[in-house]
Structure 1
Amino acid sequence: MMSHLLSAWRSLKRTELLLLLGLSLMFGAIDLSDLLRIDAGPKFWSVVTHHLVTSVAAAAVIMLCWLPADRSSEQAAQRTRRLVIATVVGSVLAALTIWELTVSLPWPSITELVMIKKKMPMPQLSAGLFVSFTLQVLLPTSLLVAASEMLRRQRRATEALQRVLAEQAQLRRRAMASRLAALQAQVEPQLLFDALVDVEQAYDQQRPDAALRMERLIRYLRVALPRLREAGSSLDAEAELLDSYLDVMRDLQPRAPQLVRLWADGIGQQALPPMLLLPLLQTALQRAAGDPPERCELRAERMAGSLHIELSFDRPGLCGSVEDLAELNKRLALLAGPRAWLSCTSRDSGPTRFTLDLPDT
């Protein structure tokens, strides 16, 4: 019990100290409002000092009673009862403190000035007077404690809501990452069938590059299939997937473009959401139809707190539909945050550029 009291008193925060001062000023303002109705003369500042000292002392007593109740478990069923008891006990002790200081302090109080002007003796502490003192303290104290508890519960509810929203967003990101990893692990049935037929024909015809074609197909499968177990990727891994895909395509279509990687050392290990670059490559090749690009460049650099990636082709008009880009931007928003953005530019006689910006998290 004593350890809890000491721990609660030592946990006094700066905001609570400011609340203590505000409470004491409230008590002082209540008392000093009567000072405007009487002429205190040269004793004005003595009266002000008296009431400020008694107000600070009363607020300190209330704070000492309130802190242990406030530091009790927020989930405890008896918390409200403890706060009510602490508020009542604190108000009673504060009223006793005010009375004792009123009698013992060297500075006069407003009550003393009034009694002196009326040439009457100071009243003795009676039950009615004590109840009056206690109620004067209890009313503002109850309002402050109730307001503090309401703010605490509102803050706790807001924090709980934020945690739930954060967990929900995390689950959505994981679900999307798993879906994209599964998509990335898929091997296009037609591509696989054509590649297998091509390898079989190469072996039947005893062509010297048959083994190389088989190695390229195996490499593509080794790069693509393990993505089913991965929730994320990297720039190097995505580039390896593009390269292996183009190797297989080159065996089927000799005019498939060459991939050129252009970035500084260390950037290749940068984390990257899965299933972003391969759909862009596939879109460009599909749009190219019978006139595929000859060169495909993958650039990456860090710019102002973000990773800037550019996938470009030496052919115009390969951006694909607006709906496809919008769908990829939705994936980006879930996986990399709302500030991540994918765009595509293409001029009539210039290259097609897919631009991806991934801000640091």
Structure 2
Amino acid sequence: MPPNPADPVDRAALLRWRAVLAAAALSTLLALALLLPGAVRCKLWPAQDGDDSSCHADAGLSGGLGLAFLLWMLWLAATLTQRRLPRAGPARNWGLTVQIAGLTLLFALLNSVTHTVGAPDGRLTAYTLQVLLTFSTCVCLGLEYRRLGHHGEAAAAMLKRAEQAQARQLDAARAALLQAQVEPHFLFNTLAHLRRLARTDARAAQAMLSDLRRYLAAALPELRQSETPLARELELVTAFLALHQRRIGPERLALRYDISPGLEDVIVPSTCLLTLAENAIKHGIAPQVQGGEICVRALPDPDEAGLLRLEVADTGAGMGSGSGSGTGLATLRARLAAAHGAAAKLSLHLNRPRGLIARVQLPWP
């Protein structure tokens, strides 16, 4: 909530010594500017009116200092009375009107003693009242506009902080949604295959059940966090691919891992390799009767210094019309952008002699 007009910190800002000195300097400059035309007239045409008594009142040094002091006192009085005004609405407008009228009358009485503005004898004329009313209005409205500007800046800053907080929450929700996208049909198919194996090959069923347990043990902790060490991500993708290899057969799916040493503790987005491996199985290996090979790589990027390269390459169906347009890759791109901006990217490349390479590049170390 923006600070209200009665906030002690807000009103104290105007009474700090720098603000007081700045107001005094501005009052002096304004007084000199107002008296300059009269001073020039008295200097050039001192006897034009036959009586130069007004020159002593309007253009003299004492008159200039007196006007500066009057303006400075007017600013100080407006500052001190501003805190008493209603906070907002029509009451605030009526309060400003009363403040301006009150300050005008107060300084009319003061001017009748100091003879600073208007007639030399201090008489209250319509001209004097008009000048003092103009001064009071300018000072009071200037302070009011300053207050509104200050509150507007505070409100804008608050809205910006709220917007940033909502953006962070949205990114977190999007990341959580992606991490929760372990395809249900994969688990259903695995359990169905496990049930068939239990009837026909108990030893293979036990091995597959062991792989499923290892996959779930690696996957469940990853779904609760947005980043993980590369070693844990490799455990997850290794268990995932081992399950698929048992389900579709080792003769249809060969696996290979090429991991540079010393990268085990590097922090990477959780399930990033899993998303690439899912894409390779679904769009690369599964459509081919003969299957193919999947290779998982992690290495310092040989082409761009300061980047880590993670790849899942397959020798499957290659670049099709739907390659790269799935929900998994799209949400992974969004996660990378939210976490690293333009410094991280996901790209797809043709593999040789056939297949596709899905590549993630991350800032590193």
Normalising by structure 2, what TM-score?
A: 0.67
What count of residue pairs does the alignment treat as equivalent?
A: 335
The reply on whether 1:232 has 2:226 as its aligned counterpart is yes
Which residue does the alignment assign to 2:357?
A: 352
Which residue does the alignment assign to 2:73?
A: 61
- Whether the aligned pair in 2 keeps the contact of 1:177 and 1:232 (CA below 8 Å) is yes
- Whether the aligned pair in 2 keeps the contact of 1:32 and 1:51 (CA below 8 Å) is no
Which residue does the alignment assign to 2:241?
A: 246
TM-fit CA distance, 1:191: 4.1
- Tell me how far apart the structure 2 counterparts of residues 50 and 263 of structure 1 sit (CA, whole Å): 86
- Pair 1:161–1:102, CA change in 2 (3 A): same
- Whether the aligned pair in 1 keeps the contact of 2:257 and 2:297 (CA below 8 Å) is yes
Which residue does the alignment assign to 2:173?
A: 175
What SS does the corresponding residue of 1:349 show, helix, strand or coil?
A: coil
- Pair 1:171–1:292, CA change in 2 (3 A): same
- Tell me how far apart the structure 2 counterparts of residues 51 and 226 of structure 1 sit (CA, whole Å): 81
Gaps of 5+ in 2: 1-6, 46-54
Amino acid of the structure 1 residue aligned with 2:277: L
- Whether the aligned pair in 2 keeps the contact of 1:24 and 1:56 (CA below 8 Å) is yes
TM-fit CA distance, 1:123: 1.9
Please give the residue correspondences for 1:4-43 in structure 2 after superposition, counting only pairs within 5 Å: 8-9=11-12, 12=15, 16=19, 20=23, 21-22=25-26, 24-39=28-43
Which residue does the alignment assign to 1:106?
A: none
- Tell me how far apart the structure 1 counterparts of residues 152 and 332 of structure 2 sit (CA, whole Å): 35
- Tell me how far apart the structure 2 counterparts of residues 217 and 163 of structure 1 sit (CA, whole Å): 44
Aligned CA-pair RMSD = 4.9
What SS does the corresponding residue of 2:167 show, helix, strand or coil?
A: helix
- Tell me how far apart the structure 2 counterparts of residues 31 and 93 of structure 1 sit (CA, whole Å): 22
- Tell me how far apart the structure 2 counterparts of residues 171 and 6 of structure 1 sit (CA, whole Å): 32
- Tell me how far apart the structure 2 counterparts of residues 94 and 261 of structure 1 sit (CA, whole Å): 84
Amino acid of the structure 1 residue aligned with 2:143: V
What SS does the corresponding residue of 2:39 show, helix, strand or coil?
A: helix
- Whether the aligned pair in 2 keeps the contact of 1:339 and 1:359 (CA below 8 Å) is no
Which residue does the alignment assign to 1:332?
A: 335
TM-fit CA distance, 1:311: 1.8
- Pair 1:95–1:24, CA change in 2 (3 A): farther
- Tell me how far apart the structure 1 counterparts of residues 9 and 156 of structure 2 sit (CA, whole Å): 30
- Whether the aligned pair in 1 keeps the contact of 2:74 and 2:136 (CA below 8 Å) is no
Q: Deviation per CA, 1:162-213, whole angstroms, max 9, x where unpaired?
A: 2442343234223323322321485723542255247626xx6464x76544
Gaps of 5+ in 1: 104-108, 116-121
